[in-house]
Chains A and B, each alone.
Chain A
């Protein structure tokens, strides 16, 4: 029930990234990001980089910024905890960072193992110096990602958009 073909927000995010000159898209996949990842892999404007763990993406995008390119990091909420120490790089160097988080462990979660990180994602990001923008209505994804992108790159700030399970649909594994 994730990402039905009629939903336009993954395409909206893709267009925002391209329009804002984002060139590197680093990700550990989530079902909620599946369509966006597919579009990035097909794009000639974007280098899609699959990671083995999310903190690699924080360092990768710091390197991209040093080299004059903008990037975005896609992950699910369980990956946020993996990034904490690496986020000191972004913070102490005052670099922009844009993270799009597909939430788990909140709205209608069936897997209890997702709950501890999902319930703490927002606080953990704020503690690590990342501004957060939660969105739980698919009609507001576009404006929220636009706002977070602008603050990140115009303000040399770390920002994260938390895309709710209300939008992504709770996973069921057929239960």
Chain B
């Protein structure tokens, strides 16, 4: 395990999320629990964000169900390495369904950030993009710097998915920016914004 490697990664998670969402248009965005949810809030809270405060391992399958239900919308799941590791099987499920509109972005700082910055498996031998590729997800890569990030932005917006990017980001403690945490409210505002009157049937 590489205990210090991720402390010097050049990409910073908040800037990465802002860049990815800069031209989100009408995309639907799901964030995994912990830092990715705070990063999404820092980029700007809005009704078509669905930040998770729990349900660890559920971000990708939730994004899959949403992508299948809304095939004309881009669905972007932003999660962390620890959350992704808890639901690795969901990459296999995504690969079999092959939704063209689903984008999975892992902000990989190689740590369990909310619980004391303990190392995750990605600080050792585990390569999440390789897991996604071996599962059959057609577009997968690991991104390590600004050049690499610039190279994937178009695929995030338009690539024939599912696409999976493991973005290596610096391990750092950042100020908390918290989204709303009332789940019923998050659900209702999301459905109202997306479905209009059909949200209440």
Contacts and interface: CB of A to CB of B under 8 A. Distances in A.
Contacts of B150: none
Q: Is the interface of B mostly helix, strand, loop or mixed?
A: helix
Interface stretch (B16-24, B90-98, B111-119, B164-172): B90-98
A88 B90 CA distance: 18
Contact of B184 (A69, A85, A92): A92
B54 interface: yes
Interface string A66-103: 11110100000000000001101100111100000000
A88 B87 contact: no
Interface residues on B, range: 35 or more
A63 B89 contact: no
A24 B97 CA distance: 12
B54 A62 contact: no
Given A63-B61, A88-B54, A56 B93 contact: yes
Contacts of B195: 68
Interface of A: 23-24, 26, 47, 49-53, 55-69, 71, 85-86, 88-89, 92-95
Given A52-B90, A59-B87, A59-B90, 7 more contacts: A55-B58, A60-B93, A63-B69, A66-B187, A68-B194, A85-B56, A89-B62
